[in-house]
Structure 1
Amino acid sequence: MFFPKRIKKIRPRDRVLEIGPGSMPFPRANEFLEYDFHAGDIIRQRGDVHEEPDYGGRKVTRYKGNRLPFRDGEFDYVIASHVIEHVEDPARFLDEICRVGGGGYLEFPLPTYEYLYDFDVHKHFIWFDSDADTIKFLPKSETGLDSFSVVTDSLKQGLTAGWDDLVASNLDNFFAGIEFSEGLKAVKAQGLDEFDPLAFKSLGVLSKGIKKVLRFL
């Protein structure tokens, strides 16, 4: 999670679920939900972190399938940081989050990041359409991104080797984190032309560096 300070609406008595906590579970979460991956897959999803995260004795549920294993309204707040880009059906996933907990916090890589690095475990381009108050997604398989594999593979090797200055210095250009209220929907976009990087200025997640980044895409 890159923007934990954007989580502001958790009340003292709220019951908080974190989905896919990765290697650093959120301190305020009461319970965690992990997908039941095969051993090799879970290492890839966690960025090659091999040790089991420290959940601090809090309950961890593992599941498979599309329906989250909780009752309607069981939680007050749901955190899903860098999860929605991995799932098969983002619309169903967000519906399930809202079913079990109403509002919460989503964090995800923007298309700018995917165009540079194209991690294959990320199945979709994701962004937030503030005008429509809707999460937009587009399966990467429906675009020509794979034609850039020679470039993205080279950049990815540099990133994993620690050459991450571009990303670390411009997090707001590559990732978004939003708190949302009950009823947020995810809708499939028709194309990447629906993604407007300049629209993120109104969300306070755009720096002047985005124009420089876009020149390389």
Structure 2
Amino acid sequence: MFFPDRIKSIEPNDKVLEIGPGATPFSRSDVFLELKYETEEERIAQSGHVGILETDKQVVYYDGGKFPFKDNEFDYVICSHVLEHVDDVDVFLSEIQRIANKGYLEFPTIYYDYIYNFPEHKMFLLENDGVINWMTKEESGLNKFSPVHKFFYRTCELKYYDAINDFKNYFFQGFEWFDKIKSRHVNKIESLTYHMDAVKLQEKKTKEISVEKMYPYISFKKFLKYKLKKFF
């Protein structure tokens, strides 16, 4: 979870369910819902390769489909980095709304998966004007570029996280919802991207790099001579 500070509406007596917590559950969660997997390796992969959940709290396992809970059994549901793994976003969200009337959703956007293309992720998602737009990765045709993605996927495995940290607010969305979650299956990539007016990036401040380091294979004297000739 990248934005835990956005969870603000849990009351002291609220019963909180967290869906797919992986190995890093939210501290206020009371019950966990986990999908049954055939192997431990698959469970670790589906949770982002961060390990296995260790907890003394109740963990409920299910086979998918309808959640094994009564209507309105919970006051708040946390669903962080799960929605991109499901087979049908609309069906999954309807189950969340059946068991609670408020909660928190967090998921990666197409910008994140366009670069890394995690094989466990099935969906592209973007919330816009109160509606979660979604498209299956298969529909997008992105997998044609899997040989390219393997390079970036490997950089992530090796913990090259600078790009993720720099663009966190665009690579991921996280927000609370109340009463109703609107979602829509779309067929255009444009429905999954930010309008450029909404992108508020600032020029990144970097340390000055010496000419020798920037151009290690160019003679500094020749470079200086070129600059002097060009401007004087």
Q: Same fold (TM over 0.5)?
A: yes
Shift of residue 78 of structure 1? 0.2
The unaligned stretches of length 5 or more in structure 2 are 204-232
Among candidates 163, 169, 172, match of residue 172 of structure 1: 169
1:57-108 deviations in Å (ceiling 9; x for gaps):
2110000121000000000100000000101111000000000011100000
Find the aligned partners of 2:61 and 2:197 in 1 and give their Cα distance: 34
Find the aligned partners of 1:154 and 1:199 in 2 and give their Cα distance: 27
Greater C-alpha radius of gyration: 2
Secondary structure (helix, strand or coil) at the match of 1:94 reads helix
Q: Percent identity?
A: 39
1:213 is matched with which residue? none
Write the letter of the residue equivalent to 2:155: G
Shift of residue 199 of structure 1? 7.6
Residues 8 and 97 of structure 1: CA distance in aligned 2, closer, same or farther (over 3 Å) = same
Q: How does 1:1-217 map to 2 (within 5 A)?
A: 1-39=1-39, 40-50=41-51, 52-55=52-55, 57-130=56-129, 133-198=130-195, 201=198, 207-208=200-201
Shift of residue 200 of structure 1? 9.1
Find the aligned partners of 1:129 and 1:23 in 2 and give their Cα distance: 30
The unaligned stretches of length 5 or more in structure 1 are 211-217
Count of residues in correspondence between the two structures: 202
Write the letter of the residue equivalent to 1:126: L
Give 4+ residue runs of structure 1 displaced > 3 Å after superposition: 198-201
Residues 8 and 105 of structure 1: CA distance in aligned 2, closer, same or farther (over 3 Å) = same
Residues 127 and 75 of structure 1: CA distance in aligned 2, closer, same or farther (over 3 Å) = same
- Aligned CA RMSD, in angstroms, stands at 1.7
Residues 21 and 111 of structure 1: CA distance in aligned 2, closer, same or farther (over 3 Å) = same
Shift of residue 192 of structure 1? 1.0
Residues 183 and 194 of structure 1: CA distance in aligned 2, closer, same or farther (over 3 Å) = same
Find the aligned partners of 1:209 and 1:86 in 2 and give their Cα distance: 32
